[in-house]
Structure 1
Amino acid sequence: MKKILSLLSNRLFTVAVLIILQLVFMMTVLYRLGEIDRNVNFVLLVLSYIMVVYVINKQGNPSFKLAWCILILILPIFGGIFYLLFGDKKVPKALQKNMLASIQESLPLINQENEILELVEGLNYGAYKQFKYVWKNTYFPVYRNTSVEYFKVGEEKFETMIVELKKAKHFIFIEYFIIEEGVFWNTILDILVQKVKEGVLVRVMYDDAGCVSTLPAKYKKTLEEKGIECAVFNPLKARLVVQMNNRDHRKICVIDNQVGFVGGINLADEYINKVVRFGYWKDTAVMLKGEAVWSLTVMFLQFWGYVKKQKKINYLDFKLETNIQNSEGYVQPFSDSPTDHEEAGLNVHMNLINNAKKYIYIETPYLVIGYEMQKALTLAAKSGVDVRIMTPHVPDKWYVHLVSQANYLPLIREGVKIYEYSPGFVHSKTMVSDDIMGICGTINMDYRSYYLHYECGVLMYNTKALLDMKKDYLQTLEDCMEITIEDCKNEILIKRIIRSVLNFFAPLM
């Protein structure tokens, strides 16, 4: 009974039910109109066929287009309407306009095509192309004078984050997909409250869908009463035309423009294994100190300005100078957004795979990929590159895990090595290649991260953190089991059928 009452009081459940009721009502009305006047059915059929032609000819991911075409043809009366409601990117125009304006406003402050890219070009042309792509398409530059520390588990980030937050003197910016009351967040919250009393500007932003089951509905007011400025991204609303797919999946913490944290670790207790949900939770993050933190500061302010409807942001007020003089490696924090038509996260992953010469080691909680990514991975493996992918053995979402497993066999057949992390759940989103290039961030290898979510990551070249990532990967492999062709073929038939169906419609999930 308690579980039923808890479900009924869940805001996400309520919103979902209301949207479904609206959808059923709309379908009922259209069906009744079709019974009264056959011309209505004819118009809907024509609309569906037009939508199929439109989808086929539209630019975009072929898997996404194929799945929608099949769905429309299966439900020809309502398929065209479904696509109009849910099929395209539903990014608010105000957010598109704000992101473009904020980029233009901050462009002179964060983007300078200077000698740094030229230095990289002289050292490694592959790294130069990768950095140049990100700079030209996301507008975030490459930095030196930045130290990078890699955290192989959430517990390490938690301890360091506490130490760094206590040093704050000017401002703290926190932007996370999930915040949940518990040891992790409550410890940080106590520090934030103390910092407010010391005169530090503290701003917290969280995604409403990500926190719908972890925070009270009016938690924003709770924080504001403590003196913390708060913003809730894309609040859940019971509207038939939804934008819930476009979530703020980023995890950013910035302190005085001196220190920045990025990675897969949210502010909840399972990420530091204070709560056990899916076995041991393996996650990673990086801490930046130095000039590259400025890009994280700008990322936060761009979103903050949109959510708080601020027409003018004085970016330079937050550009506090750093004293890090570090010539080790090159660092490029960047953000990916569905407000444009550039799949930066996907393309960065593809470039890393395509440019690998000896090896590429990948950690991802989900392996929900399309043909182009599958081709990149298998081509690298067939070209002699040691391609290894680590996924969870204990899933957080059973249906997504089935889709991931559906992609195992075609990859393994071509030489890609797949490992499942036996102790529990891998939530890390990292790639490291040839000891010199890699990424740590929030970007999963799935359609949601590549096409729908707001994401961020740190691209690195020739930093010590990359060697730490490689060492951690190889050590973690000792706790993994390699998946073989026989493992894939020995699965029961019904499971393989379910996986195939889910995999086909994966782009719509």
Structure 2
Amino acid sequence: MKKIYKHSIQRLAFLFITLAIQIYIIFFIILQFKDYFLHFYIISLIIGCILVFYILNGKSNPSYKIAWIVPILILPIFGGTFYLIYGGNKLKKREKKKMKNQNKKMESSLIQSNDVMNRLGRENEYAKNQSLYILNYANCPIYENTYTEYLSPGEVKFKKLVEELKKAKHFIFLEYFIIEEGIMWNTILEILKKKVKQGVDVRVIYDDVGCVMKLPYKYENQLKRYGIKCRVFNPFVPLLTNRLNNRDHRKIAVIDGYVGFMGGINLADEYINACEKYGHWKDAAILIKGEAVFNLTVMFLTIWDFINNSDDNYLKYKPENFTHEKFLSKGYVQPFDDSPLVNEPIGETVYLNLINKAKRYIYINTPYLIIDNEMATALKIAAKSGVDVRIVTPHIPDKWFVHAVTKSYYHSFIKNNIKIYEYTPGFIHSKTFVVDDEYAVIGSINLDFRSLYLHFECGAWLYKTDSVLKLRDDFLDTLRLCQQISLEECENVKWVVKFGRTILRLFSPLL
């Protein structure tokens, strides 16, 4: 572990030094024009104004636009330069075309059962409308005949995952933002190596930025030596480029086509409290068995084929090809993905639909609370209308500046009847919504701009499943370990701290 850590530090140091050199070169070139500063400033101002009009006419979120417009107008020379290099959230045209083709294939492989959708409509027209949105924009159908089990904290998910991995006979697909050597990953890796020897098709995807400090450089080659097929999403190159913006933040495991896991739990020891980083780590995941797992399989394969330049036949991985077991469970399950390439904020809209349709309560777990005006307003309106809105955030943060932005929302939320709690034992990493004992969403989608607009994410929309009530009960149990934030506490914050939070919040879409 020490050797891995040393190599990771060296790699990260090299990357930062390389980026610092590039920034220095940019500043150096700009400073060379100091003798023509006035002319250069005017040209930069003109370019800055053009960029501002371009940003204003773009389709990105207004808060994201403001976060770029302010530095461009205040410091046109530097702000404009960095926007040209780093701004935006899109992959290259060739890559976008590849992903578009994968999405078409995904759409043709995932076919919605009209009978299921019609039954849902007869039960609840509002629920049907929410489900249709996910179907139309994420190409992900809704299912019956699916068992779900809410898993929290990470230790529970780990135990279940190990149990199911040991049963694998045909294939194992793992897609995670973070993988780190330790008790959790090493246990899983030993199972994967055994399964490869038994002829099981084992594939792993991890995000390079997520693992830059967790795994040695070119770790995929080590896995390949074990017979494990491995691909790295969007390798981190030491260049100032907007490619750094798009990360694979999903956490997906699929076993033999009919068993799946998703949620907020990565494959690293802090997620199962085998090591302590920020106090007790509270997280959540969901186990899915049955027809709905096919959505997860296709999500994985679209990313795999995108990276690998391959063309898998998705239909051969359907659940019925590997089991005849019937998974009967009340309610409906709709796993979905969210991509920055579709120009549609699917994750945010799913959350907004839940907020806007709530009648009695909205319970939210989130590690970060960095949202736009639309979602903040929707939560306030719900609370003003008599809906019991409660939000749990960490007490011990993993990033102080992000937590500072989170705290900047407390005062206005509490003034508008939203109850805010902090998880006293440590860090809450769960990303869950539960509404009115009927709806829930659990997945990898944080309430921050990167998750909602820049990252590849996934979640499961649930309607009237037993896991919805389990999620509700766990939320209420968690409140007993939390401290509620009072309005008086918010008002007693020093003005300097408030000012600092305001500045950070202005630029929060870029954090």
Give the TM interval when normalised to the shorter protein.
over 0.9
Q: C-alpha distance in 1, partners of 2:139/2:102? A: 11
> Secondary structure of the equivalent of 1:216?
coil
8 A Cα contact 2:366 2:393, kept in partner: yes
Aligned to 1:225: 225
Q: Where do 1:450-489 residues align within 5 Å? A: 450-489=452-491
Q: 1:354, CA displacement in angstroms?
A: 0.7
Aligned to 1:499: 501
Aligned to 2:74: 74
Identity %: 49
Q: C-alpha distance in 1, partners of 2:441/2:382? A: 18
Q: Where do 1:408-419 residues align within 5 Å? A: 408-419=410-421
Q: 1:14, CA displacement in angstroms?
A: 2.4
Aligned to 2:330: 328
Q: 1:99, CA displacement in angstroms?
A: 2.1
- AA partner of residue 450 (structure 2): R
Q: C-alpha distance in 2, partners of 1:166/1:423? A: 33
- After superposition, the C-alpha distances for 1:111-170 in whole angstroms (9 at most, x for unaligned) are 225121111111112211110101000100001110000012001011111110000000
Q: 1:474, CA displacement in angstroms?
A: 0.3
Q: C-alpha distance in 1, partners of 2:287/2:132? A: 23
Q: Structure 1 241/81 Cα, relative in aligned 2: closer, same or farther at 3 Å?
A: same
> Secondary structure of the equivalent of 1:116?
helix
- AA partner of residue 47 (structure 2): L
Aligned to 2:16: 16
8 A Cα contact 1:153 1:283, kept in partner: yes
Q: 1:78, CA displacement in angstroms?
A: 2.6
Q: C-alpha distance in 2, partners of 1:383/1:118? A: 31
Q: 1:8, CA displacement in angstroms?
A: 9.1
- AA partner of residue 423 (structure 2): Y
Q: C-alpha distance in 1, partners of 2:288/2:356? A: 27
- AA partner of residue 61 (structure 1): N
8 A Cα contact 2:348 2:452, kept in partner: yes
Q: Where do 1:232-247 residues align within 5 Å? A: 232-247=232-247
8 A Cα contact 1:353 1:380, kept in partner: yes
- Which one is further off, 11-20 or 486-495? 11-20
Q: Where do 1:141-180 residues align within 5 Å? A: 141-180=141-180
Q: 1:38, CA displacement in angstroms?
A: 5.3
8 A Cα contact 1:34 1:41, kept in partner: no
Q: Structure 1 330/15 Cα, relative in aligned 2: closer, same or farther at 3 Å?
A: same
Q: 1:327, CA displacement in angstroms?
A: 4.5
Q: 1:335, CA displacement in angstroms?
A: 0.4
8 A Cα contact 2:8 2:216, kept in partner: no
Aligned length: 506
Aligned to 1:432: 434
1:117 aligns with 2:117: yes
What's the TM-score once normalised by structure 2's chain length?
0.96
Q: C-alpha distance in 2, partners of 1:325/1:152? A: 22
Q: Structure 1 37/473 Cα, relative in aligned 2: closer, same or farther at 3 Å?
A: closer
> Secondary structure of the equivalent of 2:231?
strand
Q: 1:277, CA displacement in angstroms?
A: 0.6
8 A Cα contact 1:444 1:450, kept in partner: yes
- After superposition, the C-alpha distances for 1:394-430 in whole angstroms (9 at most, x for unaligned) are 0011110000000111111000000000000000000
Q: C-alpha distance in 2, partners of 1:199/1:53? A: 57
- AA partner of residue 314 (structure 1): N
Q: 1:257, CA displacement in angstroms?
A: 0.4
- After superposition, the C-alpha distances for 1:181-240 in whole angstroms (9 at most, x for unaligned) are 011000000000000010000001100000011111121111010110000001110112
Q: C-alpha distance in 1, partners of 2:93/2:318? A: 29
Q: C-alpha distance in 2, partners of 1:13/1:94? A: 31
Q: 1:43, CA displacement in angstroms?
A: 2.2
> Secondary structure of the equivalent of 1:470?
helix
> Secondary structure of the equivalent of 1:192?
helix
> Secondary structure of the equivalent of 1:244?
helix
Q: Where do 1:49-128 residues align within 5 Å? A: 49-112=49-112, 114-128=114-128
> Secondary structure of the equivalent of 2:274?
coil
Q: 1:308, CA displacement in angstroms?
A: 1.1
Q: Where do 1:306-321 residues align within 5 Å? A: 306-310=306-310, 312-321=311-320
> Secondary structure of the equivalent of 1:289?
strand
State the superposition RMSD in angstroms: 1.7
> Secondary structure of the equivalent of 1:173?
strand
Q: C-alpha distance in 2, partners of 1:45/1:167? A: 63
- Which one is further off, 58-67 or 211-220? 58-67
8 A Cα contact 2:347 2:445, kept in partner: yes
2:448 to 441, 446, 449: 446
> Secondary structure of the equivalent of 2:167?
coil
2:343 to 329, 341, 344: 341
8 A Cα contact 1:336 1:345, kept in partner: yes
What's the TM-score once normalised by structure 1's chain length?
0.96
Aligned to 2:305: 305
- After superposition, the C-alpha distances for 1:242-291 in whole angstroms (9 at most, x for unaligned) are 41121100000000101000000000011110001100000000000000
Aligned to 2:130: 130
Q: Structure 1 342/466 Cα, relative in aligned 2: closer, same or farther at 3 Å?
A: same
8 A Cα contact 1:8 1:14, kept in partner: no
> Secondary structure of the equivalent of 1:122?
helix
Q: 1:369, CA displacement in angstroms?
A: 1.0
**Structure 2 residue ranges without an equivalent (≥5):** none
8 A Cα contact 2:220 2:232, kept in partner: yes
> Secondary structure of the equivalent of 2:77?
coil
Q: C-alpha distance in 1, partners of 2:185/2:509? A: 33
**Structure 1 residue ranges without an equivalent (≥5):** none
Q: 1:26, CA displacement in angstroms?
A: 1.9
8 A Cα contact 1:49 1:80, kept in partner: no
Q: 1:85, CA displacement in angstroms?
A: 1.5
Q: C-alpha distance in 1, partners of 2:461/2:186? A: 31
